[in-house]
Amino acid sequence: MRTWVYRVAHNVAATHVLRQRRQAAKNLVSLDDIDIASEAQAIDAAVDEARMLARLHALIQRLKPLDRQVVLLYLEGLPVEAIAEIAGLSESNSHTKLHRIRTLLATQLHGETP
């Protein structure tokens, strides 16, 4: 059973990587198709958003495994009741953990010390 679970997880991860590569290849354009002057503001906004997401991802990776699991399940859009069941926590504990993690991430993203 354990080997099968690892194999399924590996196949899912490999498929995800391949899809990401295909999607990135679809977004490429030639130099003739790029209008730099009109897209400057959109590019700046996209770069800022990408930097913020990279910082958020780095902060999430620094969390303890259980906290990381709770916040990732929340970011996937699962309700707190489902998160509690998956993580093996009570609903009130999940609410509390989620609130504390969101507060911690928000303060660290905005450069404040918690």
The confidence score (pLDDT) of residue 114 equals: 47
Domains of the chain: 63-114 (1.10.10)
Q: What is the pLDDT of residues 34-88, one digit of tens each?
A: 666 556 677 788 888 899 999 999 999 999 999 999 999 999 999 999 999 999 9
Read off the pLDDT of each residue in 16-37 and give the average, rounded to a whole number.
78
Confidence (pLDDT) at 80: 92
C-alpha distances in Å from residue 3, one per residue of 15, 36, 86: 18, 51, 21
Amino acid (1-letter code) at residue 5? V
Residue 9 has pLDDT above 80, yes or no: yes
pTM (2 d.p.): 0.58
- Cα distance between residue 40 and residue 47, in whole Å: 10
Query: 2 or 34: whose pLDDT is higher?
Result: 2
